[in-house]
Amino acid sequence: MTQEEMALRYGCNPHQVPARVYSDGVLPFRVLNGSPGYINMLDALNSWQLVKELKQALGLPAAASFKHVSPAGAAVGIPLSDTLRKAYFIGNMEISALAAAYARARGADRLSSYGDWIALSDTVDIPTAKLINREVSDGLIAPGYEPEALAMLKEKKQGRYPIVEIDADYEPREMEVKELFGVWFEQKRNNLQVNDDLLKNIVTRNRELPDSAVRDLIVATIALKYTQSNSVCFAYEGQVIGAGAGQQSRIHCTRLAGGKADRWFLRQHPAILDLRWRKGIGRPERDNAIDLCFQDELTSSEQESWASAFEEVPARMSLQEKKGWLSRFSGVALSSDAFFPFRDCIDRAYQSGVKYVVEPGGALRDEDVIRACDDYGMVMIFSKTRLFHH
């Protein structure tokens, strides 16, 4: 890899031309297919760091589904249950550990992942390429590609699908620089290693922290490290299930993440898994229809769109049915990139099955927040580490 700069299609918007990426050394990647844009490369380099860190921290293949410089989902390669295979429209496809990681990352929030940028920690194999080929995606970054997998991916988007190969051994300089409005900003790169050392300072009465919770707290915290702040992340079974990104208040982050987690659980309801789809309807249309199943009210156009997806129009889920199903789930991990200023975030998190919480601590009302966790029997950890990302 000897290229020092690469022209981009355009900047953040089509009228922002010319645009390029460049380095005073050698670019740590090469484009194998297609022509990435400015936002594509922002997503590529952020998401690559996320999956690289997940792999290093947990020793499992990792994947991320990125949209607009934040992860819609991230996960490690834990085998999929039959329920998740059905919820993710996997069926009987052959699934490798890497493919399972991407299925989980894409499955966290399938609506948001439509047109995602994909990052994979390992060499892309054929099962993963087959899975990617089925989905609407804007590009992919990985450290390598099996020849047959690469050939398969090159056919996507009529041969225009952006495929980037990253140097897995590349390490950037310690200091990073960006420019805004003609002014240069410089800071030390956020090279904090997220591992179980951040999870030692338990501040609640409940101190039981099983290995599965440690794993999920690490998944959520590494995802936060590359999520636009303010942000809160819910994780479960080795994957993100709800990310609340870029909000100006912590409670709105929590509500957004909790709502997405609720939808993730609701997708696994037998009534959803057994929906009878109209012949020929695609996965994106199914995702949209499933989302409408969970809304309390529909406009006339939404009602028409929803009803047209099915062979036989089903009844939408009642509030009582939704609450009953969601009450079955617990053991969810939550990570916050900054402290909770009030207990309201804990109250909302409990409604979505949160049992384990990590946040920096240091708020004026820390004792109120701890007390809320004790009220619900949660385990709370103060990491003493803020993870803002902009």
| Residue among 52, 55, 67, 156 flagged as catalytic | 67
pLDDT value at residue 195: 94
State the span(s) of the chain assigned CATH 3.40.140.20: 5-171, 191-266+329-382
Selected catalytic residue, list 68, 130, 157, 252: 68
For residue 112, the model assigns a pLDDT of 94
**In the chain, where does the domain assigned CATH 1.10.287 lie?**
273-316
**Tokens at 17, concatenated:** 């031309």
pTM of the model: 0.95
Catalytic residue among 52, 230, 322, 355: 230
User: Is-catalytic flag, 68?
Assistant: yes
Matching CATH number, 273-316, of 3.40.50, 1.20.1740, 1.10.287, 1.20.140: 1.10.287
Active site residue 390: yes
CATH tag for 191-266+329-382 (out of 3.30.1330.100, 3.40.140.20, 3.40.50.970, 3.90.1580.10): 3.40.140.20
- For the question of residue 230 being annotated catalytic, the response is yes
- pLDDT tens track of the chain, all 390 residues? 446 888 998 888 899 999 999 888 889 999 999 999 999 999 999 999 999 999 999 999 999 999 999 999 999 999 999 999 999 999 999 999 999 999 999 999 999 999 999 999 999 999 999 999 999 999 999 999 999 999 999 999 999 999 999 999 999 999 999 998 999 999 999 999 999 999 999 999 999 999 999 999 999 999 999 999 999 999 999 999 999 999 999 999 999 999 999 999 999 999 999 999 999 899 999 999 999 988 888 899 988 888 899 988 888 888 999 999 999 999 999 999 999 999 999 999 999 999 999 999 999 999 999 999 999 999 999 999 999 999
We find that the CATH architecture of domain 5-171 is 3-Layer(aba) Sandwich (3.40)
